[in-house]
């Protein structure tokens, strides 16, 4: 489990195919800030842009670690198949503060940035969510964007999905990789865990896997 509070900004430094077919995944080498791996061990979970991954090796001297990501995970996420900056969060420990909200590290869908601009000292970020995900978004509710726990400021239902707005303060821009986003950028989205269970308990959807339709019907990079 995670909280959506980013503990470091790393960089995917290398990508290696784990096989020759589309059914094979990739091995990623990530560079991290000095000291970030001091309390990390083999098999530990680290969320990379909001997707929970397992540390398969690490090099303290080089400030690097590797993960293996399956073809299925690559298909259901974005930003993990290319070099560049990524948000990192180590798994939650029992005695840690829950500064954001409960995050599982399982991406529910891919959204598209429709607007990203500075307003005063902050930045307004608007994202179009996949069809079917809008019912999980609420004013002042929580959403995870590329692993960052954020508060929804506005929700607008559209014929082909749902657009929601987020306010990013300077601290978030400075301490995450969200500042690299631009109009058209794909982002990993995870809905609030509580919203998922509320829907199931109320029986508003006949399928326990209703979010799966968001992948097929929603915007894709």
- Tell me the per-residue pLDDT of 62-77, one tens digit each, with 9 for 90 and over: 999 999 999 999 999 9
Count CB atoms within 10 A of the CB of residue 75.
Answer: 13
CA distance 103 to 213: 21
Q: Which CATH number fits domain 8-90: 2.40.30.20, 2.30.40.10, 3.20.20.370, 3.40.50.2020?
A: 2.40.30.20
pLDDT tens by residue, 17-64: 999 888 999 999 999 999 999 999 999 999 999 999 999 999 999 999
CB burial of residue 206 (10 Å; 0-12, 13-18, 19+):
exposed
Tokens 């430094």 -> residue: 13
Q: In the chain, what are the domain boundaries?
A: 8-90, 109-206
Task: Say how many Å lie between the first and final Cα of the chain, rounded.
Answer: 27
How confident is the prediction for the chain on average, in pLDDT?
91
CATH number of 109-206: 2.40.30.20
Is it true that 8-90 and 109-206 share their CATH fold?
yes
pLDDT tens by residue, 144-186: 999 999 999 999 998 888 999 999 999 999 999 999 999 999 9
């Amino acid at each position: 489990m995670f909280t959506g509070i980013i503990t470091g900004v790393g960089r995917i430094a290398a990508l290696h195919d784990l096989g020759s077919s589309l059914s094979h995944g990739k091995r990623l080498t990530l560079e991290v800030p000095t000291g970030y791996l001091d309390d990390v061990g083999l098999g530990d979970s680290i969320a990379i842009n909001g997707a929970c991954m397992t540390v398969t090796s690490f090099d303290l001297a080089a400030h690097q670690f590797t993960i293996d990501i399956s073809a299925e995970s690559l298909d259901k996420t974005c930003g993990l198949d290319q070099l560049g900056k990524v948000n990192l969060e180590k798994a939650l420990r029992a005695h840690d503060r829950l500064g954001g909200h409960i995050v599982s590290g399982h991406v529910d869908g891919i959204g598209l940035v429709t607007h990203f601009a500075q307003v005063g000292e902050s930045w307004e970020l608007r994202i179009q969510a996949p069809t079917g995900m809008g019912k999980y978004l609420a004013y002042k509710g929580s959403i995870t964007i590329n692993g960052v726990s954020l508060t929804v400021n506005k929700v607008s239902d559209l014929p082909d999905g749902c657009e929601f707005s987020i306010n990013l303060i300077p601290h978030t821009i400075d301490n995450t990789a969200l500042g690299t986003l631009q109009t058209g950028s794909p982002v990993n989205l995870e809905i609030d865990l509580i919203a998922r269970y509320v829907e199931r308990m109320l029986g508003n959807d006949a399928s326990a896997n209703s979010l799966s339709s968001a992948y097929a019907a929603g915007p894709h990079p």
